[in-house]
């Protein structure tokens, strides 16, 4: 079993009430995920654990979940060296955040996180492939990329994504990082709407209410042809995008079309200093 040359963190049980906002890292445990102390029965009743992958087999479990969601549910066409796994060149450079079912040990949620140092090593972020990010150059030194977020179909009631966000908050705070970017996907078939009309309609709505300042706006390399689609539908964004918007995230520009993942991808940015005050206290400690 090959070990990954990345920082490693232990798993912790979380209760859903406290999962989103971690407590400060104790001075004597600077290597631990910052999570609140919760009563043992509350943590046990939540039934989930969150932590960072420490070995290749743990990354493989995340990649199997990604394949199940992206290829099995969304119809993505994945070129992968290992059947049944979603693997690309960025995986070896990323931290992989996992949520497990405490009873079975099954990985039921995951994010991957590309740090500024690792982005320099690999030469770009994944988002650079889909968008011209020139205008973000001044943010890159403290900017992480979030990607490949997915949750198992049987665990999409909210607790898993809260646990993931809680661990991400601790990671950002501990490493003095202040900006998160990523591509938020809208399936080409969304809420029964096909052909990308849902994505075009969501873009129309969000471009009027949640656009980033012009100095951060970017352009897709392969644009979704929104002008040729019906953008007048009243359709809600996917749950993950709605969650980002509640945290103060901004849309950076029009969606890119990702034919391999059968999705339209919106570039999104979230800065710790621009979060609503009640969230910023937890992310930044102030």
Render pLDDT for 206-258 as a digit per residue (tens, 0 to 9).
Answer: 999 999 999 999 999 999 999 999 999 999 999 889 989 998 999 999 999 99
**Confidence at residue 31, expressed as pLDDT on a 0 to 100 scale:** 32
**Confidence at residue 272, expressed as pLDDT on a 0 to 100 scale:** 87
Q: Answer whether 11's CB lies under 8 Å from 154's CB.
A: no
Fold for 12-284, please state it: Aminopeptidase (3.40.630)
pLDDT tens digit sequence for 29-68: 233 323 333 333 333 346 899 999 999 999 999 999 999 9
- The residue written with tokens 């549910």 in the block is 73
Q: Answer whether 22's CB lies under 8 Å from 172's CB.
A: no
**Confidence at residue 157, expressed as pLDDT on a 0 to 100 scale:** 76
**Structure-derived torsion over alpha carbons of residues 36, 118, 143, 286, reported in degrees to the nearest 10:** 30
What mean pLDDT is predicted for residues 106-121? 97
Is the pLDDT at 98 greater than 60? The verdict is yes
**Confidence at residue 269, expressed as pLDDT on a 0 to 100 scale:** 97
Query: In angstroms, rounded to a whole number, what is the distance separating the alpha carbons of residues 282 and 6?
Result: 25
Is the pLDDT at 25 greater than 60? The verdict is no
Name the pLDDT band for 268 (thresholds 50, 70, 90).
very high
Higher pLDDT, 30 or 171: 171
pLDDT tens digit sequence for 72-83: 988 899 999 999
Query: In angstroms, rounded to a whole number, what is the distance separating the alpha carbons of residues 185 and 256?
Result: 9
How many other CB atoms are there within 10 angstroms of residue 117's CB atom? 10
**Confidence at residue 26, expressed as pLDDT on a 0 to 100 scale:** 31
DSSP annotation of 93 reads G
**Confidence at residue 215, expressed as pLDDT on a 0 to 100 scale:** 97
Q: Answer whether 127's CB lies under 8 Å from 182's CB.
A: yes
**Confidence at residue 152, expressed as pLDDT on a 0 to 100 scale:** 94
Q: Kindly report whether the global pTM for this prediction surpasses the value 0.75.
A: yes
Question: Among the residues of 135-175, which ranges form H helices?
Answer: 159-174
Is the pLDDT at 16 greater than 60? The verdict is no
Is the pLDDT at 19 greater than 80? The verdict is no
Q: Answer whether 180's CB lies under 8 Å from 212's CB.
A: no
Euclidean distance between the first and the last CA atom of the chain, given in angstroms as a whole number: 41
Is the pLDDT at 8 greater than 50? The verdict is no
Q: Among 45-49, 129-133, 179-183, which stretch is predicted with the lowest mean pLDDT? A: 45-49
CA distances from 136 to 73, 80, 186, 207 (A): 33, 30, 23, 19
Query: In angstroms, rounded to a whole number, what is the distance separating the alpha carbons of residues 284 and 286?
Result: 5
Is the pLDDT at 177 greater than 80? The verdict is yes
DSSP annotation of 73 reads I
Q: Environment class of residue 81 by beta-carbon count within 10 Å: exposed (0-12), middle (13-18) or buried (19+)? A: exposed
What mean pLDDT is predicted for residues 156-170? 86
């Amino acid at each position: 079993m090959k070990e990954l040359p990345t920082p490693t963190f232990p798993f912790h049980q979380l209760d859903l009430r406290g999962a989103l906002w971690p407590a400060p890292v104790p001075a004597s445990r600077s290597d631990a995920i910052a999570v609140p102390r919760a009563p043992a029965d509350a943590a046990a009743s939540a039934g989930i654990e969150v932590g960072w992958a420490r070995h290749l087999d743990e990354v493989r479990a995340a990649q199997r979940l990604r394949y199940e969601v992206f290829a099995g549910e969304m119809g993505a066409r994945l070129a992968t060296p290992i059947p049944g796994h979603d693997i690309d060149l960025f995986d070896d450079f990323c931290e992989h955040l996992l949520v497990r079912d405490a009873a079975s040990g099954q990985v039921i949620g995951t994010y991957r996180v590309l740090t500024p140092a690792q982005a320099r090593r690999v030469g770009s972020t994944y988002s650079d492939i889909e968008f011209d990010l020139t205008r973000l150059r001044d943010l890159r030194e403290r900017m992480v990329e979030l990607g490949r977020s997915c949750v198992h179909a049987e665990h999409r009631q909210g607790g898993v994504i809260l646990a993931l966000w809680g661990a991400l908050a601790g990671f950002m705070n501990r490493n003095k990082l202040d900006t998160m970017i990523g591509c938020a996907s809208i399936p080409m078939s969304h809420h029964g709407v096909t052909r990308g009309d849902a994505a075009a309609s969501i873009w129309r709505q969000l471009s009027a209410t949640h656009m980033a300042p012009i100095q951060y706006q970017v352009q897709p390399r392969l644009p979704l042809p929104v002008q040729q689609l019906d953008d007048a539908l009243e359709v809600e964004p996917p749950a993950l995008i709605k969650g980002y918007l509640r945290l103060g995230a901004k849309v950076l520009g029009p969606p890119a079309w990702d034919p391999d993942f059968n999705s339209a991808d919106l570039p999104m940015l979230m800065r710790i200093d621009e979060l609503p005050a009640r969230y910023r206290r937890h992310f930044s400690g102030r």
